[in-house]
Structure formats: C-alpha cells, structure tokens
Amino acid sequence: MHAIWKGSISFGLVTIPISLFSATRSEELKFRLLRKSDLSPINYKRVAEVDGKEVPWDQIVKGYEYEDGKYVVLKEEDFKRADVEATQTVDIVDFVEQDDIDPVFFSRPYYMVPNKGGEKAYSLLREVLETTGKVGIAKVVIKTRQHLAAVKPRRNALVLEIMHFADEIADLNSFAIPKEVKVGAKEMEMAKTLVKSMSDKWKPDKYHDDYRAALLEMIHKKVKSGGKDIPTKAEPKKRASNVIDLVEVLRQSIQKGGGKSAARGKKKTTAQAKKRAGRKVS
C-alpha cells in the first residue's frame, strides 16, 4: 500500500514524522456504459454547451459562475495566490473532548504511521489522547486543499479523520423535523423491550453488503448463461401506509424476537452469498 501523503504531526514544539494511508476502501461494483447493439464501450467527450463542438484540453479554462450565465476565469497563478501554505504538517491547534464532537462532522479516516525516529513521540501522543479522552483538532493541506481534521487514537494507532467545516453542515432547522412529540408510557416501555431484545455487542464482521453480494451472484449467473436474462419471480409490493398503530407494530416486533429469528434464518444464505461475492468474474 502506498502512502498518499508524507509529513509530520505538530503540536507545541513536538514534531512527529508520519506517513498517511487510507483507512477505508470502496467495494462498489464498477460498470461501463455500452452501446446496446454491439456492447461497444461508450467514451465521453468534452463539448461546448453553446454549439455541441468538442473542445481540446488546451482550449479549456476554469471559470466561476458569479451570476446566472456570467463567469470569471481563474488562471493557475490565481489558484496559487489564494492557496494556503502547504507545509506538509498536521498542525494541531486545539485538544477537545471527543464526546463533544457531533459525529456528523467526521468524513474520511486515514491511518497515521510513524516514520523512522518518530515512534516514541507517536506512542506518547496516542497514549495521552487515549488517557484523557481528547482528540487533536488540526488543519492539514492534502494535495491542493486545506482540510479540518481530528487526530484520534485507535487501538495502537493514530487516525487522522478528515472533518467538515461548520459551514458545510446542513442546518437541521431547514428540515421539517418534529421537535416535541408526546410519547405514551406504554409505547415507551414496549420500545425499550424491543431495543433490549435486539441488543448485542458491536461486531463489525457481522454486517455485510447484501445488495453487492446478490448483484455479484446475478452477474455470475449471467456470465455462466452466456449473458442471457435470468428469470425472476415477481413479488407483490407492500403498500406503505402513513397511519401507524405504534403499539401494535411494537407488539408484533417483540413477538418476532426483534427480527433475530429471521436474521438467524438468513445467516447461512448470507454466508454463501458472501463467499460467492469473493470470486472474480471471469
């Protein structure tokens, strides 16, 4: 795995040399658009909106639409003039309680790996964050953009989690979300019973992408059949209702064991689908 960024963590007078590695990976299936008649791949062209003519790269500039249909062109020197100094440093400016940060601010995690000579200071920072329950709030420039980020402990590692700035978070008040709705005592007790019956320890390996597994299974079947359509049984769609008898729904859910019985019944099928999803399409 290649490091996407190399630099250092800085707080106070402490500097820790590190490399940054992506902590996640995308498992989405990628598809190409094809021409139906001969399955020829479709390529995209850069065309001008006004006349539909293709535009070569050397004739393309970047513009900002400041009014409807009106643009100001920005050149490379304009971007450089506005660019913040890329110091290759994760500059910690504050330490805050992790529990005080709304999870909606967190966006994308990266593993921070100490470079030679930085192991002791790296371990010290990780341990002090773990002990105090705090995270470091930092600013870092990756490629050409400045990011807000949190330096967090995770097991024996430090994680840099890219965050949203406050003005990037949608205001909850702009949505039609009920603020105060009276809930009956019976409904609350039954809801607590249902939550208790469905409670379990957090086991991330327990959860799988069922849609991806089913889609890959269908792809394998289509490949095996030479691309022919796979017959499917039409299932009647359930009609949604806006009228909910909450007590009755909770009662039925509790009787069914909170859905655990159904989950156990699907366990074997899910395992088989996961196994099939691991095979390469050939």
Two tokens, residue 209 = 């992408």
Mean of the pLDDT values across residues 56-65? 92
- Residue 277 token pair: 């999803």
If you average pLDDT over residues 122-137, what whole number do you get? 94
- 197/132 Cα distance (integer angstroms): 34
42-53 as b/e: b if 16+ CB within 10 A: eeeeeeeeeeee
Best-predicted range by mean pLDDT among 39-43, 94-98, 250-254, 265-269?
A: 94-98
3-state secondary structure at position 135? strand
pLDDT of residue 268: 46
Q: Which residues pair with 21 in a beta bridge?
A: 111
Residue, of 100 and 81, whose pLDDT is higher? 100
Q: Which residues fall within 8 angstroms of residue 63, CB to CB, at 6 or more apart?
A: 71, 72, 73, 74
**Is the whole model's pTM more than 0.85, yes or no?**
no
DSSP lists the bridge partners of residue 152 as 159
Which domains are assigned to the chain?
5-25+83-168 (2.40.290.10), 185-232+243-277 (no CATH)
Least confident of 50-54, 121-125, 268-272: 268-272
Mean pLDDT of all residues in the chain? 82
- Residue 127 CB-half CA count within 13 A: 6
The Cβ-side half-sphere exposure at 247, using a 13 Å CA radius, reads 6
Among left, alpha and beta (phi > 0; psi -120 to 50; other), residue 137 is beta
Measured between alpha carbons, how far is 165 from 148 in angstroms, rounded to an integer? 6
With 50 as the cut, is the pLDDT of residue 261 above it? no
- Choice among 115-129, 189-203, 236-250 with the minimum mean pLDDT: 236-250
Q: Are 107 and 138 in contact (CB under 8 A)?
A: no
pLDDT at 257 over 80: no
Nearby residues of 76 by Cβ (< 8 Å), 6 or more positions away: none
Model confidence at 122, pLDDT cuts 50, 70, 90, reads: very high
| SS percent in the chain: helix, strand, coil, step 5 | 35, 25, 40
Nearest to 116 by CA among 22, 5, 10, 8: 8
**Residue 273, helix vs strand vs coil:** helix
Q: Residue 194 above 50 pLDDT?
A: yes
Q: Is pLDDT at 21 greater than 70 in this prediction?
A: yes
224 or 40, which is more confident = 40
| Mean pLDDT confidence for 10-26 | 86
pLDDT at 266 over 60: no
Cα torsion 152, 154, 157, 163: sign: negative
Average pLDDT over residues 201-218: 83
Contacts of 157 (CB under 8 A, 6+ apart): 111, 112, 113, 126
